[in-house]
Amino acid sequence: MHTKKSSAGKIAIFIVAILLALGTLCFAEQSEANAPQDLFAMPIEDLAEQSYTVYGASKYEQKTSEAPAFVTIITADEIRKYGYKTLADVIESVPEFFITYDRNYHYIGVRGFRRPGDYDTRILILLNGHRLNDNVYDSVSTGTTFPVDIDLIEKVEVIRGPGSSLYGSNAFLAVVNVITKNAKTLEGVEVSGEVASFDTMKERVSYGKNFDESHNLLVSATSYKSSGPTLHFKEFDTPATHNGNVSNDDDQFYNLFLNATVGEFTFLATYLPREKGIPTAPYDTYFGDSRTKTNDDMAIMGLEYKHDFTDDFAVRGRVSYHHYDYDGAFVYDDSGLYVNKDNARGRWWESELQFIAKPIENHKLTWGIEDQYNTTQDQKNWDSAVYLDDKRHSNNWGVYIQDEWKIFDKWTFVGGVRHDEYGTFGGTTNPRLALIYQHSDATTVKLLYGQAFRAPNVYELYYNDGDYTMKAADSLNPETIQTYEAVLEQKLNKNLGATVSAFHYEMKDVLDQYLDPADNLLVFRNLKEVKANGITGALTGRWENGLKGRASYTFVEARDGQTDAILVSSPKQLAKFNVIYPVIQNNLFAGLEVLYTSKAKTLTNNYADDFWITNLTLTYENIVKGLELSASVYNLFDVHYGYPSGAEHRQDIIEQDGTSFRIKLTYRF
């Protein structure tokens, strides 16, 4: 593989430097009296009171500087102006996070950790506080299978570190809380259409009605279809396998979304069926057959109730029903072509009752109980014979408590603990401790400690294919992690803020697939220990003329705790540069993003090369009243790059797209 990092990287950094300089000059020439008086023109200290608050760190709204975690917020305005197409794009822009893509699903890595073949089980994804990770694989995709259109997201809260003290399983390395728009943020009719590379088309229509302060309705429908590029895989470069050329990379989905508020009740419903061709021929399937594909079908219905009884006591209740279907079709050639089918069916109910109180001065107490009742956890695999037909149901629950204690004017202590009970392995208790020192309005220091766990899921416990390649584990322990972190948050002036985070974590009983020499079958076992050390520096800025940006650099070493070897699919260095520059103030904006990922080891002990990716989006607002046009170019310098693959692929590295484009038109009335 070859990357154009030397030229592309220097050019990108040069462009960023010029835009920052021009923006600073523009700000210097603009008087305070002429600055636009809107939300994004406010200085950073005022923004902390409004859009820069976080809910997911403590299960109530608080300033990010007061949260017991290193938090990043990505807003709807940034999503639009950087041209993000999926939640995966949003998360990839966040310090310490990286994304891989195997041409079927997107996967998240954070702080140097991502296991090949894992379905993002160690990151908890929430939608307006509702858990999205399914009850079979513990997965939730952030690509085109994410169950909400990217245009309906109001903001994304990214909370690093263990969160099991509040959320239980899967809140292992991070919690991502996606907050959707409602009729207060999208009122009236909004229609959007876009065309993009690879015969891609997407259409959306949304309607929001704000009846009064406590009654509103938002409904939306989206359609997406893409033929995908024609790809070449050198591993299949023979006449018998089409010389390595394949076009089975099509992708399509539909999405229906509803968000309604009636008094103190909020109802959320979303439904998304998605079909995706698989061009990589995983699991030794027949290369180039368009029948090899996956179908994912997911739905959520959730009801939430909030009530403040007094200024010092409030209650929140939540119940939701979840539906997840997975259907995979895999074509094999064994004296003739045949289709092997693999499916999973998940149905489950979740409920939570939470209380917040200020029982005595300087204390804010949060406690609650959460339950998940899994009515269906079924897996099946078959072709001419049935190899797996496993049907399960289960129940798990947890109780938690957290106290925020303002010890002195400048010192705050946060302590929390949660106990969870599972039928598969028993109970687990996980604490969190934080000491926050607010030296001044400009300087905050956080010392953080947390433990978390991830429960083994039914796929890891019970999946087998008739003892052909894989057998069931039956008994597994939960994974555990301990994390230590120190965070310094410093406002340099009213426009600039800096954050430095240093962290260390240790994992035990990490679940991995193991080839049992007794029968030569794959099986999940608690195998690895992992240790990691890292540091991140981040800079954010925004000016009254509309210029804003952020930059970050992360260095992390994640190693096998037994062999001291660097982990597979673990880049040591990440650098990110993002700038939104007002070319014509209040109308035309340029959103530039430059992402650097260092080399990463593959399963065969080779390395995927490091690379720079540059994305550019131009957004013209109010061409006529209510009309917005945006044009995006992704991978601007056509860098050739790829990600380490999982064991199911013959490819050691999965190649990614070159330069592509998108043109999007949105009309609001």
Q: What is the pLDDT of residue 17?
A: 37
Please determine, for residue 573, whether its predicted confidence score (pLDDT) is greater than 70. Answer: yes
**Tokens coding 20:** 């920052």
CA 541: distance to chain centroid? 23
Q: What is the pLDDT of residue 263?
A: 94
How far is Cα 255 from Cα 206, in angstroms, rounded to an integer?
11
More confident residue, 598 or 45: 598
- Contacts with 17 (C-beta within 8 Å, 6 or more apart), sequence order: none
Contact 6, 14 (CB under 8 A): no
CATH topology of domain 5-668: Maltoporin; Chain A (2.40.170)
What integer best gives the mean pLDDT of the chain? Answer: 91
Q: What is the pLDDT of residue 7?
A: 40
CA 237: distance to chain centroid? 35
**Mean pLDDT value of segment 646-666:** 95
pLDDT tens readout for residues 111-153: 999 988 889 999 999 999 999 999 999 998 899 999 999 999 9
Q: How confident is the model at residue 9 (pLDDT cuts 50, 70, 90)?
A: very low
Q: What is the pLDDT of residue 117?
A: 81
**Mean pLDDT value of segment 317-344:** 95
Amino acid at 599: K
Q: What is the pLDDT of residue 225?
A: 98
Please determine, for residue 47, whether its predicted confidence score (pLDDT) is greater than 50. Answer: no
pLDDT tens readout for residues 392-405: 999 999 999 999 99
How far is Cα 545 from Cα 24, in angstroms, rounded to an integer?
9
Please determine, for residue 324, whether its predicted confidence score (pLDDT) is greater than 70. Answer: yes
Element spanning 612, H or E: strand 611-620
Q: What is the pLDDT of residue 516?
A: 84
Q: Of 468, 487, 478, 466, which is closest to residue 508 (Cα–Cα)? A: 478
Q: How confident is the model at residue 271 (pLDDT cuts 50, 70, 90)?
A: very high
* Count of other CB atoms within 10 angstroms of residue 213: 9
Q: How confident is the model at residue 15 (pLDDT cuts 50, 70, 90)?
A: very low
**Mean pLDDT value of segment 563-569:** 94
Please determine, for residue 44, whether its predicted confidence score (pLDDT) is greater than 50. Answer: no
Please determine, for residue 347, whether its predicted confidence score (pLDDT) is greater than 60. Answer: yes
**Mean pLDDT value of segment 553-569:** 95
Amino acid at 165: S
pLDDT tens readout for residues 207-248: 999 998 889 999 999 999 999 999 999 999 999 899 999 999
Percent of the chain past pLDDT 70, that is, above it, reads 92
Q: How confident is the model at residue 512 (pLDDT cuts 50, 70, 90)?
A: confident
**Tokens coding 150:** 């990217």
Contact 497, 522 (CB under 8 A): no
Please determine, for residue 421, whether its predicted confidence score (pLDDT) is greater than 50. Answer: yes
Please determine, for residue 353, whether its predicted confidence score (pLDDT) is greater than 60. Answer: yes
Please determine, for residue 46, whether its predicted confidence score (pLDDT) is greater than 90. Answer: no
Please determine, for residue 45, whether its predicted confidence score (pLDDT) is greater than 50. Answer: no
**Mean pLDDT value of segment 473-477:** 87
Q: How confident is the model at residue 2 (pLDDT cuts 50, 70, 90)?
A: very low
Please determine, for residue 475, whether its predicted confidence score (pLDDT) is greater than 90. Answer: no
Contact 653, 608 (CB under 8 A): yes
Percent of the chain past pLDDT 90, that is, above it, reads 83
Please determine, for residue 632, whether its predicted confidence score (pLDDT) is greater than 80. Answer: yes
Q: Of 413, 451, 366, which is closest to residue 161 (Cα–Cα)? A: 451
